[in-house]
Amino acid sequence: MFHKEGHKIIIITLVIVVGCFLLVDSFIDVTWIRTIVMIVLLAFLILILQFFRNPKRNTNLNDNQVISPVDGKVVVIEEVFEKEYFNEKRLQVSVFMSPLNVHVTRYPIGGNVVFSKYHPGKYLVAWHPKASEENERTTVVVENETYGKVLHRQIAGALAKRIVNYAKVEDKAIQGGESGFIKFGSRVDLFLPLDTKIKVVLNQKVKGGESIIAEN
């Protein structure tokens, strides 16, 4: 199953690859060169297909828990001052996504969307310290009565040239439901209450919609 954000790119890529296959078969007579070129073209198509895959996730709905919004690796767990929305100290947990990860962004908690904003910006590598403040990004805050407010921020990386954000203020967020999509390598930051119990460690691999990041 492929994500709707990839349908156009997949079709274009498929047409290009098929066209290149025909050209290669017609104009390259050396067998080993033709084989290598075809393998490279096929690998490129497979890479695009796997990038836009959208596997079904089984989310156990729990208002006491924060789940990972994306697939990837935990690269930051630290106390920071969040100045866009909270203007106070929060626990930041960041998940880095490589181009090989599923790039669907999911709501970490269920509740009401109380803030959603897009910021144009740079395309620094996603792990750069200033990426969360200077790169293209979107900020979404969801609130429920049990956990309170959780902010998740999609951040474009050096390869990510488009962030898609579905969250709108007053939307009803369903934990594990789709809140957006980031095209190619990037990262997502979570900002949580200081007294939250973090359930992951640095460099741990997590799965969007399923892995528990924190609980109260």
pLDDT tens by residue, 83-118: 999 999 999 999 998 878 888 999 999 999 999 999
pLDDT confidence of residue 198? 97
pLDDT confidence of residue 30? 86
pLDDT confidence of residue 202? 96
Q: What CATH number is given to the structural domain containing 116?
A: 2.70.70
Same domain, 210 and 117: yes
| Domain contains 59 | no
Instruction: Tally the domains of the chain.
Output: 2
The phi, psi pair for 36, rounded to 5°, reads -65, -45
pLDDT in tens, 157-171: 666 557 889 999 999
| Domain contains 60 | no
Place of tokens 């001052």: 81
Same domain, 93 and 117: yes
Decide: 60 and 10 in contact? Cβ < 8 Å: no
| Domain contains 167 | yes
Q: pLDDT under 50 in the chain at which residues?
A: none
pTM of the model: 0.84
**Structural domain range at position 84:** 65-215
- Examine the residue annotation and report whether 94 is marked as an active-site residue of this protein: no
**Residues in contact with 170: Cβ distance below 8 Å, sequence separation at least 6, in sequence order:** 112, 113
Considering the candidates 94, 179, 186, 211, report the single residue annotated as catalytic. Answer: 186
pLDDT confidence of residue 55? 84
Same domain, 133 and 30: no
The first and second tokens of residue 18, run together, are 């098929």
Torsion of CA 106, 107, 110, 112, to 10 degrees: -130
Decide: 51 and 72 in contact? Cβ < 8 Å: no
Same domain, 32 and 118: no
